[in-house]
Every structure is written in structure tokens, then in C-alpha cells.
Chain A
Amino acid sequence: MGERKPRIIGFCCERHGMDSAVLAARSGKLYDASVKLVEVPCAGRVDGMHILKALEDGADAVFVLGCLEKNCYYDTGSIEGRKRVGYVKSMLKEVGLEPERVEMFNAASTNAWAFPEAVSKMVDVVKRVGTMGSGGEGQ
């Protein structure tokens, strides 16, 4: 099977998460075009099901980007989001997938570097563990 480009889905909260992505773009940062963003009202809105469904639909990696934990617009939203990502990680381990495929990041709306950094981390993860299905059954 030939090398294909990675597919990465990012769930961004519409407060600090999306704002940091917008600021990154406006300050001229470039990142991989394989990353596609879904806007959610808050990182706490992201359910384990959304992440698992995205992986099922063909994403190689999924990340959630929320506000900084002490500066969350909805007070505890990004803490809740992190808990759910942790839960999904443990589930992935159970079914034999790499838990690194799912990650939670926090950003402030003034952190222009946070978003490209998160993206490049996820791209690196996919490069390391391979795209979904590339390893065959043995791995």
C-alpha cells in the first residue's frame, strides 16, 4: 500500500482554541494542509464518541484544542475535555491502537505558536506510528 497523506481532525473550541488558530494564520505561520478543523463551542462539548467516530471515519489522528485550564471561557470546560481525551486514550489501548493518536492541547488566544506546534506534533505522531491500516494486522 502506497504512502498516503495523513488525515488529522482537530476539534477546536470556538473561544481560545479557534482564536489561537486564527492568530497563527494571521501571523504568517504555515502548517500541514492535512489538518482539518471542526469548531465546537467548548472543549468540554467534545465527547469520546466524536473522537472515536472520527477515527472510524478515517482520521489517523485526532486532537482537541481548548483554552488554558485556568483561563477557560466556560470555567471547567478544558479540564473536562482533557478527562474525555484521557478516557479515549485508555480505550484505544484496549483495542490495540496507539493512544498517541489522540491528544489534548491548550492554548491562549494570544499564543500564535501553540496551534502550529500542536499540528506538527500530531503530524509527527502519524509519521511515527503510521497512517491507519498501513501496518496490517500483525502490528
Chain B
Amino acid sequence: MKAGIQVVLCRCCTEMPALLDMKKLEAMASAADYVVSTVVVDAVCDGKNLADAVRAAREREADRVVVMACHKKDISPGLTKAYKRAGINEFLIEIANLREEVVLPHRDDPEGAQKKAESKLLATIAKSALLTPLEKSTEEMKTKNVVIIGAGVSGQAAARIASEAGAHTIMLEKSGKSVKAPGIVLPNTKVIGCKGYPGNYTLTIQAGEKIEQLDCAAVVIATGGGWTALRGPLASAVKDSIPLYKLYDQLNASQAPKSPVIIVDTPDPAGKTMKVQDYAWDETLETVIELKKKFPETRVFVVFQEMRAYGLNELAYKTAADLGVKFIRYEKASPPKVDPREPTKLSVKDFAQGEIVSIGIGTLAFASIPANPDNLVVAEALRIPMSPDGGIRRGSIQRGPVSTPRPAMFVCGSAMFPKSRELAAAEGEAAGAMAAAYVKSGKIEFGGSVAQVTQEKCSACLTCVRTCPYEAPFIGTASKAEIKMQLCQGCGICVGICPSKAIELHNHTDEQIAEEARTLLGGGF
């Protein structure tokens, strides 16, 4: 195969020439194999310079490009667009980061930097010559449905934003409560299974006794916290312990709670530790101030490990203390205890005084939200991993703060971990917007740099099937592994682990990686 490479050297205004010998680099690039055109530009991120480079590529009939500039993520969109218009495949554009890998970190060592830049240039050209053109495929979405699981605070926020953005929302609620939300609301419904791939999921839902199939493009998980599932020795010793929001409801109904004790932290079911709950501080303070204002005579205790009221809420802490709320701080090693034989007394070792205080309990309220037990069912059905705390696990933060490890599935609110109402609503809005943006185009884009199995080499050992986090490989009709392109994310985990070396990742093949490393090492240090 004959390859014609265009090398674009970016001066990055004055940064590169200040350290590197650009003339030498240019000469090296021109002398390298396959290179048909070498262009030095002031700044490749500048539209005019880019247009010049693209014109030169077209004149010299280059079919692939090596750009020596800065971080790929910064310049890639513009470059890809411009070169695509000139008829160059987007997978044949190789961007090497000369600025952040060579110039900035080695500005004290011009000689070393020059050598490194030279080897980087040669390695990128060598890699570029081995690239193959790839195409992305598109597919129509069957529906533009966004399924929202849970009709709580975050679920309703998600439905509102998603329907405003033009998506068709279907809300599944496990209880029979009536919810006013845009789109369809299905009460008494649970998710029990999921098939398909991002953009064309098919959920199996159980509505009452009936089991039905529901097509959707994206899913928002808003299962919320498990309010009803207060566990741990404290909650089991005191029979009438309630979550904080019930105490707040009592206040709104002007019922005076009997000498309440509020525990801020989450009890661990094993009974050994109490977990600090950061979201609960503000809500606790809000409730106790309300309580003291309505019923000044009531005695209120707040028991906590740490109190960090953020920002202006620090003033609420002071106000609550002025109103006569008693704050008791304890150490993690000695959590508060209730003797089951005498469930009206809470004994806790006060951190400041070092003495054991005994408090009479009228109402025991927990400010924390335990994880929702339903998460287990939902995670199993949608095949999403769970966090050790029993929440739905969030994907890498680079995918977005409301994403799960699976594409086109979003998670918001207390389904991840306990959150305040405001935060849950904000996250719901974010998840709704993300889901709506995903379904907006109505097209699924897949392919490109994905893995492919060479069937003759495959020994059907199932290693890839077990390893892939996205469940893309499967055993096809020929009793050999195949890869579902729509599910493949192009990470290459299966490629590295395949014992028969039957899988290859397009444009990140073993040969290409080894060649790049070899050229880097051969470039002289």
C-alpha cells in the first residue's frame, strides 16, 4: 500500500522554536519515508493556517496527516472537520503532542528536548504509515423514548428537562402514587431486564402482574434513597425511629415531637461504625431551627461525628446553637448506643468532655438516607455495577457526573449516594438534559476504532466474553467469538487478554504499538 503522509509542524506561536530546532525537524520530516509534504505553520488552531495546510495536502495528494502540535483533545475537532472536507479519512489523522510532552516539561534541557522531539516525529510518522482508513456507521433509533426509573425529586426534574428538550419521556414508578409529570407515567411498574445496545435498548418491565417489553433510546435511573430501610442496631433497638423528613412533615402539620434526638450519621448494618453523612448537615440544621422556632420549649439533641455546615449555613449552625439546640459530638471509635432493655436512653461519649452522657429519647430521627434496596434489582436488570455502599455506580467522571459505566444510561439523585433535595433536583435536570441530547439526533453512531475477531484464530475460550465491561463479545453462530459493534467502546481490553491473539483493535494493533515504541527507542537519547 502506498501511503502519502503530510507532516504539519506547528510553531505554537513562538513556543516551539524557542526550544526546538524547527529547521532540523522539518528536514527530518521531509527525508522520512512516505512523506510527500511538510508544512510549518504558526498555529494550526488558527483557521487560516489550517486552510493552508489542508490545501497543501490536497495539492500533494496526501492521504494521511501527522500533526505535531498540542493536546489532541484541544485541536482534534477542528482539524478533523477541515481534513474530512478535503477527503482525508478522519482515522488517518494522527496528532502528536509536542507542546505538552516535550516543550513544556523539558524547557530546562533543550538538547534532550530536541532529541525527544525528533524521535517523537519519526515514531508518529512510522505509526501513521501503518494506519488503515476506517468508517463509522450510523443506524436509526427505533424510538426517541427516554425511560426514567423512579418518580421522586430527581426523576421528576429529569422528566421535565428531557421533555422540554424534545424527548419523549416514560416514567416508571414502583408505587401507585400519582405523579404530575410530562410524558407518560406508569405506576406500579418495575424494570426486570434489559437487552440491546445504546440507542436501541429494550427493557422488560413488570406492570402489576403483566410483563411487557418497552423500547427506549436512553435510560435515567432515579431510584432515590431507601427511606424505609433504616437499619443498624440503633434503629432496631428504638422501635419508632423515623427518617428526618418525617419529623419535618410532623412540624409542618404542627405536631410537637416529643424530645427528639437526631442522629446525623448513617448506621452501618453490622453495627460497628457510623458513616459520616456530608449532605445531612444542612437539612438537620434547617429542621432543628424550624422545630425550635415553632416549639421553643422542646428539648432537641443532635448527635454527630462531624458538622461542616457549608458557606452561609455556618450561620444556621450558630442560630441553632443560640436557640438552645444541644449538639453532641462523638468519636468514631465510640458510637452512640442504646441498651435494648431500656430503649428510652441513648448513651454517647461526648468528645469534648470525655464523659458518657445519657439522653432520654422521645423520638429518634435519622438524618441520613440508607441506600435503596431496589438498586440491586435495577442494577441487575440494567447490568450496571454497584458501589460498595449499595448505590448505582457512577461511571468515570470524564464521561460526565451523571453517567454510568454504560453509555446512554444516566443516574441521578440519591440512587448514587445520599443527597439533599436541591442537589438531587439539579442532578435530575442534568441527567434529563444528557438523555435528551443523546436521543435528539435520532441516530446511533458506532464503529470506527473498534475490536474485530479473526475467526480462524479464535478458540472460543470465552475470555473476551467474560472480560469485556460492555458485554460486546458473544459466541456467534459459527461457535466463534464475535463483537457487537454497537456495544464496543474501543478500549481494547479484550485484545490484550485474548490468549489466541485472535482479536485486534483497528488502528491500535500490536504491530502499531510495538512499532511506535521501537522507533521512540531507536531515535537516540
Q: Please judge, given known A-B contacts A45-B508, A73-B399, A75-B385, whether A36 and B112 are in contact too, CB under 8 Å.
A: no
A19 to B102, CA, bound (A): 15
Q: Determine whether the beta carbon of A33 is less than 8 Å from that of B112.
A: yes
Name B510's contact: one of A21, A32, A49, A84 (CB within 8 Å): A49
Residues of B close to A33: CB separation below 8 A: 102, 105-106, 109, 112-113, 115-116
Question: Which residues of B457-504 are within 8 A (CB) of A?
Answer: 467, 469-470, 489-493, 495-497
Q: From B387, which residue of chain A is reached at the shortest CB distance? A: A70
Also in contact, A73 and B508, with CB within 8 A (given A9-B517, A57-B522): no
Known: A4-B525, A45-B508, A57-B522. A15 touches B398 (CB 8 A): yes
Contact with A along B124-168 (1 / 0, CB 8 A): 000000000000000000000000000000000000000000000
Distance (whole angstroms) from the CB of A19 to the closest CB of chain B: 8
- Beyond A47-B510, A50-B517, A80-B493, 11 additional pairs, beta carbon < 8 A: A22-B97, A33-B105, A38-B517, A41-B492, A45-B495, A45-B505, A57-B521, A74-B493, A75-B405, A75-B469, A84-B496
Q: Which residues of B sit under 8 angstroms from A59, Cβ to Cβ?
A: 517, 521
User: Residues of A with Cβ closer than 8 Å to B?
Assistant: 4-5, 7, 9, 11, 14-16, 18-19, 21-22, 24-26, 28-34, 36-38, 40-42, 44-47, 49-50, 53-54, 57-59, 67, 71-77, 80-81, 84, 109, 116
User: B residues within 8 A CB of A24?
Assistant: 105
Tell me, in angstroms, the Cα distance from A72 to B393 when the chains sit together. Answer: 12
Q: Quick one: closest A residue to B468, CB to CB? A: A76
User: Which of A22, A30, A38 lies in contact with B516, CB distance below 8 A?
Assistant: A38
Q: In the assembled complex, which residues on chain A have CB atoms less than 8 Å from the CB atom of B525?
A: 4-5, 7, 34
Measured CB to CB, the closest approach of chain A to B231, in angstroms, equals 24
B315: interface (CB < 8 Å): no
B395 closest partner in A (C-beta): A75
Contact, CB under 8 Å: B104 / A25: yes
The residue of chain B having its C-beta at the shortest distance from the C-beta of A36 within the complex is: B520
Indicate whether B59 reaches chain A with its CB closer than 8 angstroms: no
Complex Cα spacing A42 to B493, Å: 7
| Minimum C-beta distance from A104 to chain B (A) | 13
Q: Which among B100, B108, B493 is the interface contact of A21 at CB below 8 angstroms? A: B100
Cα–Cα, bound, A14→B490 (Å): 12
Q: List 22 A-B contacts (CB under 8 A).
A: A9-B517, A16-B396, A16-B398, A25-B105, A26-B100, A29-B105, A33-B105, A33-B106, A34-B525, A41-B491, A45-B491, A45-B495, A45-B496, A57-B522, A59-B521, A73-B395, A74-B469, A74-B491, A76-B469, A76-B493, A80-B467, A84-B497
Give bound CA distance, A127 to B115, whole Å: 21
List, in ascending order, chain A residues with CB within 8 A of B490's CB. 41
Beta-carbon contacts under 8 Å, B94-110 to A: 97, 99-102, 104-109
Contacts of B116 in A (CB 8 A): 33, 36
Instruction: Check if A44 sits within 8 Å of B491, measured CB to CB.
Output: yes
Q: Which residue from B396, B469, B510 sits with its C-beta under 8 Å from A15?
A: B396
Q: How far is the CA of A41 from the CA of B399 in the complex (A)?
A: 15
Closest B residue to A23 by beta carbon equals: B100
Given A21-B100, A47-B496, do A53 and B505 touch, yes or no (CB 8 Å)? no
> Given the complex of chains A and B, what is the CA–CA distance between A55 and B389 in angstroms?
42
Residue from A19, A28, A47, A58 in contact with B495 in the complex, judged by beta carbons closer than 8 Å: A47
Q: Are B513 and A22 in contact (CB under 8 A)?
A: no
Q: Does chain A have a CB within 8 A of B275?
A: no
Report how far A124 CA is from B493 CA in the complex, Å.
30
Nearest B residue to A34, CB-CB: B525
Bitwise interface map of B from 293 to 335 toward A, beta carbon under 8 Å scored 1, else 0:
0000000000000000000000000000000000000000000
